[in-house]
Structure 1
Amino acid sequence: MDHEPSVAVCVPVYNDPEGVRTTVESLRPQTDDRGAPLCVVDNASTDETPDVIRRYASEGSVTHLREDRIQSSYAARNAAVRNTESEVLAFVDADMTVPEGWLESALATFRSADADYMGCTVELTLPETPSLVARYDHHTGFPVEQYVERQGFAPTCCLFVRREVFEDVGLFDHRLISGGDKEFGNRVHDAGYEMHFASDVTMFHPVRDSLPALVRKDFRVGRGLCQLQRYHPERYGTPGVPPRPTGVKSPDRSLPLEDRLAFGALAKAMVGVRGLGYGREYLAARRDSGEGSRSGPPELDSR
Structure 2
Amino acid sequence: MTEQATNAEGTTAVAAAATVPFVSVIVPVYNDPEGLRTTLDTLIDQTYPEEHYEILVVDNRSNDGTRAVAQEYAEAYERVTALDERRRQSSYAARTRALHCATGDVMAFIDADMTVDPDWLERVVETMDEEEIDYLACNVKLYSVGEESLAAKFNRLSGFPIEDYVSEFHYAPTCCLAVRREVVEDVGPFDVRFTSSGDREFGHRVYRAGWTLGYAADVHMYHPTRTTLKALVKKSIRIGRGKNQLRRIYPERYGSSARLIFNPAIYVPATPGQVRAALRNWDDLPLSEKLLFYALTYLLKLTNAYGAVRDAIEHRG
Q: 1:126: Cα distance to partner?
A: 1.1
- 1:230 maps to 248
Match of 2:36 in 1: 20
Residue 121 of structure 1: SS of its match in structure 2?
Answer: strand
Query: Quick check: 1:203 aligned with 2:221?
Result: yes
The aligned amino acid for 1:64 is A
Bigger CA radius of gyration: 2
Partner of 2:6: none
Whether the 8 Å contact between 1:31 and 1:37 is mirrored in structure 2 is no
Q: Deviations over 1:211-244 (max 9, x none)?
A: 1111110000011110000011122110013377
**Alignment check: 8 A CA contact 2:47 2:119 kept:** no
2:121 aligned residue = 103
- Equivalent of 2:183, from 139, 162, 165? 165
What secondary structure is seen at the aligned counterpart in 2 of 1:123?
Answer: strand
Could you tell me which residue of structure 1 aligns to residue 11 of structure 2?
Answer: none
Which runs of 5 or more residues in structure 1 are unaligned?
A: 288-303
Q: Which runs of structure 2 are paired with 1:64-213 in the superposition (5 Å)?
A: 64-213=82-231
Q: 1:264 aligns with which of 294, 301, 316?
A: 294
Aligned residue among 49, 53, 57 for 1:40: 57
2:48 and 2:119 in contact (8 A); partners too: no
Q: What residue is the counterpart of 1:250 in the other structure?
A: 275
What are the superposed Cα offsets for residues 99-153 of structure 1, whole Å, 9 maximum, x if unpaired? 1211111111111111110000000011221111000001102110000011000
Query: Per-residue deviation at 1:4?
Result: 3.1
1:50 aligns with 2:67: yes
> Offset at 1:259?
1.2
Greater displacement, 53-62 / 142-151: 53-62
Residue pair 2:48, 2:121 contacting (<8 A) in 1 also: no
Backbone CA RMSD of aligned residues: 1.8
Give the Å deviation of 1:3.
4.2
Say if 1:65 and 1:117 are closer, same or farther in 2 by CA, change over 3 A: same
2:24 corresponds in structure 1 to 8
Aligned partners of 1:107, 1:34: CA distance in 2, in Å?
Answer: 14
Question: 1:30 Cα deviation (Å)?
Answer: 1.2
| Distance in 2 (alpha carbons) for counterparts of 1:32 and 1:153 | 26
The sequence identity of aligned pairs, in percent, is 46
Following the alignment from structure 1 to structure 2, what is the Cα–Cα distance between the partners of residues 208 and 43?
Answer: 21
Structure 2, unmatched stretches of 5+, are 1-17, 277-281
The aligned amino acid for 1:96 is M
Structure 1 runs (4+) greater than 4 angstroms displaced = none
What's the CA shift for 1:253? Answer: 3.4
TM-score normalized with structure 2 length: 0.86
Q: Distance in 1 between matches of 2:75 and 2:227?
A: 33
Count of matched residue positions in the alignment of Structure 1 and Structure 2: 285
TM-score by structure 1 length? 0.90
Structure 2 distance, partners of 1:277, 1:84, is 33
Residue 32 of structure 1 deviates from its aligned partner by: 7.3
Secondary structure of residue in 2 paired with 1:185: helix
1:117–1:161 contact (8 Å) kept in structure 2: yes
| 1:49-70 deviation digits (Å, cap 9, x = unpaired) | 0011111111125111111111
Relative distance call for 1:163 and 1:31 in structure 2 (3 A) is: farther
In the alignment, is the contact (CA less than 8 A) between 2:171 and 2:202 conserved in 1?
yes
State the alpha-carbon separation in 1 of the partners of residues 206 and 48 from structure 2.
Answer: 30
